[in-house]
């Protein structure tokens, strides 16, 4: 976090804390309720985390002001599927070898290790969820499942298939119906005559299922999936509030925005006029001393497919620039507007859930955890995507709010998603046995319970930094084939399969502009960071 971001964040939180209630003095019961709220592709673009000065996130900011904010929280891998698998099992990707979209390692992981839902269920909790939690939902893991729907919709539909939104210029539109699309809902997809392939052209929930998304205007339309999940959660909280039932509950709500396609109601786009948008600070030639675009051995052949998809971020960045007459700023402004609109939209859904909780009896005995599966890089280093080894892509918001904590507590110790599992079972007194059988893998993370009350506590037993793997589409299970990035309070260290390294002094270089890996003055720090990474990978 740079100086401007830190000051801006402190001001926002100070104003919010004044309006927040003082910490509740009552203690949690032995088995408190838990609400886990997950967003998708959400970076630090919230007022509470200072990632963008124009971000509009009053509900997340209020939650952070009344709870504990981890300002150096990181994902453990930069892609939805393996990140969520790691979070929900408490197992590092390098332990499970679940490095990408591979289904074999995913099935093996769930076969041998308990998910956090199973852990809570075994201890008598009523477990319910809705939305995108695991990448591929498994209903049998829940006592109750909410809304069953394609979480990414709606989509632009040409009568035959889902396509890129016609208002998005080429070539970016050619990326497709998900990553190549952004627009307000009021921009109903309209196609040229030769682009129309059938009936029901326009918005669709799912072209495959033939389910139309009806839109007349902002007040007369179908609800977006995230709105449906938020309403379901609020409804269930209100229903349980009037029931005489002492059974504790674990509720998961997974919001898909701001994952692409970046669609949201027009009023959210109107919050961010193009001509007033502030772009991220981007240095020309910033990627010149990095190795991500060539992170494979020099002797790599056409048969070595470790990182066939790592160029996606660079490709997207180039295509967006080309789509706006080779004007990089113009392209980024249009994409940024849509991203900020979707962040504001999902913040409103978070508010629906939190309002229902705060109006219920459960407010005094419920832990709320809000986070994301990974971040998103907004053009820095000529990269527009997730799954990069740098701060914008690896950093995630993480807020823990529970009765008894000091409002506005700030934790600088780096933690990661893999720490949520051991933390919750520690706070809720569930034990620490996460294996289904002898082939199960041990918990990789550590409980941050002690940090909730004392951010400088010596009872943090985890590593000094947070480790992130870079996901691959074609999986090589060997550790030597992986790229890892490691974040401490002072440094970011990146190691590639071919031995290339990057090192950034974050205290003096918060934008990660200057790779110091070859600077003799930093050789001791480089050696120590490399040692810490090896200890995490090989020591547990």
E strand map for 190-270: 202-206, 211-212, 215-217, 220-221, 249-254, 262-264
Residue 6 has pLDDT above 60, yes or no: no
Q: Please determine, for residue 305, whether its predicted confidence score (pLDDT) is greater than 80.
A: no
For the chain, what is the mean pLDDT?
A: 91
What pLDDT sits at residue 163? 97
Q: Parallel, antiparallel, or unpaired for β 144-145 and 491-495?
A: unpaired
Least confident range from 68-72, 379-383, 473-477: namely 473-477
Q: For residue 64, what are its two tokens?
A: 């952070």
pLDDT of residue 136: 80
Token pair of 299 as six digits: 């002797």
The predicted pLDDT at position 474 comes to 59
110-147 per-position pLDDT tens digit: 999 999 999 999 999 999 999 999 988 788 899 999 99
Confidence (pLDDT) at 2: 58
Number of H helices, E strands in the chain: 14, 22
Confidence bin at 431 (pLDDT 50/70/90): confident
* Residue 299 CB coordination number (10 Å): 7
Q: State the pLDDT at residue 14.
A: 52
Confidence bin at 498 (pLDDT 50/70/90)? confident
- Strands 491-495, 501-505: pairing kind: antiparallel
Alpha-carbon gap, residue 510 to 7, rounded angstroms: 14
Which pLDDT value is given to residue 219?
94
Report the distance separating Cα 78 and Cα 75, nearest Å: 7
**pLDDT value of residue 16:** 52
Per-residue model confidence as pLDDT tens digits over 325-361: 999 999 999 999 999 999 999 999 999 999 999 999 9
Structural contact between residues 272 and 337, judged by C-beta atoms closer than 8 angstroms = yes
For residue 432, the model assigns a pLDDT of 77
Q: Which range has the worst mean pLDDT, 9-13, 31-35, 451-455?
A: 9-13
Strands (E), 13-67: 33-39
pLDDT at 516 over 80: yes
């Amino acid at each position: 976090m740079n100086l401007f971001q830190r000051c801006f964040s402190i001001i926002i939180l100070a104003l919010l804390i004044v309006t927040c209630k003082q910490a509740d003095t009552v203690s949690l019961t032995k088995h408190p309720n838990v609400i886990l709220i997950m967003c998708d592709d959400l970076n630090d673009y919230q007022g509470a985390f200072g990632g963008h000065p124009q971000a509009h996130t009053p509900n997340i900011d209020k939650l952070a002001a009344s709870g504990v904010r981890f300002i150096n929280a990181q994902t453990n891998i930069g892609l939805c599927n393996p990140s969520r698998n790691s979070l929900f099992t408490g197992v590092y990707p390098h332990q499970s070898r679940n490095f990408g979209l591979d289904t074999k390692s995913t099935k093996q992981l769930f076969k041998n290790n308990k998910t956090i839902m199973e852990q809570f269920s075994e201890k008598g909790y009523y477990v319910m969820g809705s939305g995108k939690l695991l990448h591929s939902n498994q209903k049998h893991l829940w006592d109750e499942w909410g809304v069953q729907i394609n979480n990414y919709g709606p989509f632009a539909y040409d009568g035959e298939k889902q396509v890129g939104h016609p208002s998005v210029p080429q070539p970016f539109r050619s990326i497709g119906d998900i990553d190549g699309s952004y627009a307000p809902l009021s921009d109903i997809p309209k196609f040229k005559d030769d682009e129309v392939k059938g009936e029901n052209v326009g918005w669709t929930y799912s072209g495959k299922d033939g389910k139309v998304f009806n839109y007349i205007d902002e007040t007369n339309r179908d609800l977006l999936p995230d709105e449906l999940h938020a309403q379901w959660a609020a409804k269930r909280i209100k229903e349980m509030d009037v029931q005489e039932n002492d059974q504790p509950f674990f509720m998961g709500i997974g919001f898909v925005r701001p994952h692409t396609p970046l669609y949201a109601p027009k009023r959210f786009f109107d919050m961010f006029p193009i001509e007033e948008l502030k772009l991220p600070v981007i240095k020309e030639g910033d990627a010149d001393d990095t190795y991500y675009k060539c992170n494979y051995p020099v002797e790599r052949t056409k048969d070595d497919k470790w990182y066939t998809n790592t160029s996606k971020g660079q490709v997207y960045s180039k295509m967006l620039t080309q789509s706006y007459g080779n004007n990089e700023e113009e392209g980024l402004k249009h994409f940024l507007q849509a991203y900020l609109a979707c962040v504001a939209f999902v913040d409103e859904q978070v508010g629906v859930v939190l309002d229902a909780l705060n109006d219920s009896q459960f407010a005094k005995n419920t832990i709320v955890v809000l986070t994301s599966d990974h971040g998103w890089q907004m053009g820095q280093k000529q990269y527009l995507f997730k799954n990069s080894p740098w701060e914008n892509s690896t950093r995630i918001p993480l807020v823990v709010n529970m009765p008894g904590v000091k409002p506005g507590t700030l934790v600088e110790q780096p933690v990661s998603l893999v720490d949520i599992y051991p933390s919750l079972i520690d706070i809720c007194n569930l034990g620490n046995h996460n294996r289904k059988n002898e082939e199960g893998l041990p918990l990789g993370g550590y409980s941050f319970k002690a940090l909730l009350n004392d951010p400088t506590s010596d009872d943090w037993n985890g590593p000094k930094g947070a480790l992130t793997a870079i996901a691959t589409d074609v999986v090589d299970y060997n550790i030597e084939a992986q790229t890892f990035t490691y974040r401490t309070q002072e440094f970011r260290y990146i190691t590639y399969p071919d031995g290339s390294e990057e090192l950034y002094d974050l205290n003096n270089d918060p934008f990660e502009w200057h790779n110091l890996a070859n600077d003799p003055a930093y050789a001791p720090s480089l050696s120590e960071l490399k040692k810490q990474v090896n200890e995490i990978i090989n020591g547990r």
